[in-house]
Amino acid sequence: MSKPALGRGLGALLGETAPAAPAAAPATPPGGPAAADPRERVLQVAVDRIVPNPFQPRKDFPDAALEELTESIKAQGVLQPLVVRRRGEQWELIAGERRLRAARRAGLATVPVIEREVSDTEALELALIENLQRENLNPIEEALGFRQLIEQFNLRQEDAAQKVGKSRVAVANALRLLKLPDEVQALVRKGQLSAGHAKAILGLPTPEQQKLAANLILRDGLNVRQAEELVNRLLAGPTVTSSAKRPGRSAADRDVHLADVESRLQARLGTKVSLRYRQGRGVVEIRFFSDEELERLLELLGARGD
């Protein structure tokens, strides 16, 4: 069987132009009235008979936004039907999970739906495309949706981008976010770090450095430009200059120790640090690149004036 085309007639498939049935109409079993498309019917379905979509890429539903939609539904009802398919005595959701959750919060007994007779493959395609094109996914959810679309259907990035109306570069950049450590991805999902912050952090080569940068960005409230500057400084790495370098194993051991001390200072201060040491004496040089950063360092060192 040939693979169905993605994205065709998406507005009609998702119910943007189809009229809803009257609010009092009971749920209609298979074989009832049909819409113009022989595979499509508009029904009123009990909310407790609609089961979640197993292909839903969206995992986070901010409470404030959901409450706002709930209040709108209390006042106006569900204006745009959900999209479902029949699964025995229940309906499986394809698109419209936010509306379903808000309808339940609003205490609605039934919601308008468009029933689509689709295969598992088509259901997954519609769910992913509907979310990627129209829902306010966070950057990590969007990346996971792209990856699922690509892996499930063995698509190239170019193909996936075309299906959802985005550029290949946008898809590639989104997928790169999934290379971040789980801790950093969680911060992006929660909105504590933006996609711009995450892309800057990806410039660091190790998970440890990436987590360090994320923590410093949060601690100091850095914007994206400042985050990029932080990453550049961390990439510069330790620049230990020891005038105590002498041939032999002890000198090499001493240099390793100095590099470790410098690295720890750099991690603690969040900026480039140079350490020069000889026979118990030396200099610690702390770099800063703006007045704001100097103020931050003074506060961190407990030397900020009143």
The CATH number of the domain holding residue 88 is 3.90.1530.30
**What is the bridge-based pairing of β-strands 40-46 and 110-116?**
antiparallel
Closest CA to 86 of 31, 37, 152: 31
The verdict on residue 35 lying in a domain is yes
Q: Where are the alpha helices (DSSP H) in the chain?
A: 10-13, 63-76, 97-105, 120-134, 139-153, 157-164, 168-176, 182-189, 195-201, 207-220, 224-236, 249-269, 291-300
**Which one of 113, 128, 143 terminates a domain?**
128
What is the domain count for the chain? 2
**Which one of 70, 101, 128 terminates a domain?**
128
| The pLDDT of residue 301 | 83
What is the spatial distance between Cα 151 and Cα 145, in angstroms, rounded to a whole number?
Answer: 10
| The pLDDT of residue 1 | 44
The verdict on residue 163 lying in a domain is no
The verdict on residue 151 lying in a domain is no
What are the residue numbers of the active site? 97
| The pLDDT of residue 39 | 55
Note down pLDDT in tens along the chain; length 306 residues. 444 444 433 343 344 433 343 443 444 333 333 344 555 667 888 988 998 877 666 666 667 777 888 998 888 888 888 888 888 888 898 888 888 888 998 989 899 998 888 877 677 777 777 776 665 678 998 898 889 888 888 889 998 888 878 899 999 999 999 999 999 999 999 899 999 999 999 999 989 889 989 988 998 889 999 999 888 888 875 544 433 343 443 444 455 577 777 777 877 788 878 888 877 788 888 888 888 888 888 888 887 766
The verdict on residue 38 lying in a domain is yes
Whether 115 contacts 43, CB under 8 Å: yes
pTM: 0.57
Parent domain of 113: 10-128
The verdict on residue 42 lying in a domain is yes
- Residue 32: HSE in the Cβ half-sphere, 13 Å Cα cutoff: 15
| The pLDDT of residue 28 | 39
CB count within 10 Å of CB 275 equals 20
| The pLDDT of residue 244 | 39
**Which one of 76, 108, 128 terminates a domain?**
128
The verdict on residue 67 lying in a domain is yes
The verdict on residue 226 lying in a domain is no
| The pLDDT of residue 8 | 39
The verdict on residue 273 lying in a domain is yes
